[in-house]
Amino acid sequence: MGTKNKILISGYYGFDNSGDDAILRAIVNDLNNNIENVEITVLSKNPSYTEKVYKINAVNRFNIKAVIETIKSCDLFISGGGSLLQDVTSTRSLLYYISLMRMAKFFNKKVMVYANGVGPINGRMNRIWTRRILNKVDLITLRDEDSRIFLEELKVDNENIYVTADPVFTLNPTKPDKVINILKKESIPENKPLVGVSLRNWRDSDNLVVNMAKAIDHIVEKQNVNVILIPMHYPEDLEISNKVLDKVNNNSTYVLSNKYSVEDIMGIIKKLEMIIAMRLHSLIYAASQGIPMVGIVYDPKIEGFLKSVDMDYMCPAEGIEHQNLIEKIDIVWSNREKLKKNLAKLDEHMKKEALKNTYMAKELLEK
C-alpha cells in the first residue's frame, strides 16, 4: 500500500452552507480521483456530519489541541476553497485562517491556498498579516482574476500564483428522476417552465423582499412560469425565502422547504429556464449547468463572477428597484437559449481550469 499522503483541508465547513459544502465535495472528489493512497482530514464545525457525508476524517475546528496535532501529522495543508481571506464577515474569521496557515508553516508543512476568492481586506493590519502569510505559502490558486488583481494591490510577491476556477465546476448534478421526485415531494408542479430565485439576508433586506416579490409577480404573469425559491444556507435563506413567498400576489411561487445535498440542488437548478440569485455558488451551480442568470450583487465577488462568465446582468442588493430588476430579467428571459449555448461552452473550459487545482496540489505533494 505504501505511506499515506495525508492532506488536511481548512475552510468554512460544517455550517450548513450549500456553497461551501459543494466546494468540499468537489475538492474531496478531485483529490480522491487524482492522488493515489490519499488520506483526507477536514477541519469542521460538525465533524461527525462531515465524516458521515464525505466519508473522510474530520476534526473539530475549534478544538485547538486536536487541530495542532492534525497539522503536525499532515503532509499538505490546504486552505480553501471559498472566500476565506476577507474581513467583510469579520476580522476574527480572517485571523483564524491566517493563524492555521502560519501554524502549518511553523511545522514545516507544505501549504496551498486552494481556489480562493481573496478580498476585500480593509483593515490595515489585516492586510499586512495576509500579505506576510501569502508570501510564505508554497502555492496559491485563485478562482477569479479579481483576486489576482487584489493580491497585486496587496503587494503579495509570491511567485507561485495561478488563476484557475472554482472547484464546484467539476461536480455533477443528481439524476433527473431524483429531481422529479424532489419536486413532487415539495408539491412543485412541472406544468409550466421553472424559474429559480435564491436570496440571502443582507442590509436593507425588507426592501429586497418587497422588490423581489414584485419582480416574481411580473415574470409569473408575463411568462406564465412557476417560481422556486431555493435556500442555499439554512436556516437564514429559508427565512427570507418565506418572507418573499408571503409578499407575492400569485399562486405559482414555491419554496424548497427541505434541505438537500449539493448534487440535488444542482439538479434542481439544471431544470430551470433561468435563475435570479445572490449567493455566489447558486450562480456557479447555474453556470455549470448552462442556466442563464441575473445576479443580485451584495459583494464584489458576485460582480466579478458574473463578468467572468459573460453574464453582465445584475442589480445591487442595497436599494434594489423592481423596475431595474424586471428589465434585467426580461433581457435574460428573451435571450435565454443563446445564453444557454454560451454557458455550455464556457463550462467545459471552467471544468478543465478547476481540475488544475488538483493537479497542482498533487505536484506539490510529490515534491
Dump pLDDT digits (tens) for 137-173: 999 999 999 999 999 999 999 999 999 999 999 999 9
Is pLDDT at 1 greater than 70 in this prediction?
A: no
Residues 6+ apart with CB under 8 A from 226: 188, 189, 190, 191, 192, 193, 194, 195, 220, 252, 253, 254
Domain 176-348 has CATH 3.40.50.2000: yes
| Average pLDDT of the chain to the nearest whole number | 95
What is the pTM (predicted TM-score) of this model? 0.90
Could you state, in order of their start, the residue ranges of all structural domains in the chain?
Answer: 5-163, 176-348
d(CA 198, CA 306): 15
Q: Is 231 helix (H, G, I), strand (E, B) or coil?
A: coil
Please report the pLDDT score of residue 2 as a whole number. 60
Task: State the fold for domain 5-163.
Answer: Rossmann fold (3.40.50)
Please report the pLDDT score of residue 18 as a whole number. 82
Please report the pLDDT score of residue 17 as a whole number. 86
Q: Are both 5-163 and 176-348 of the same fold?
A: yes
The secondary element (H helix, E strand) that includes residue 57 is: strand 57-60
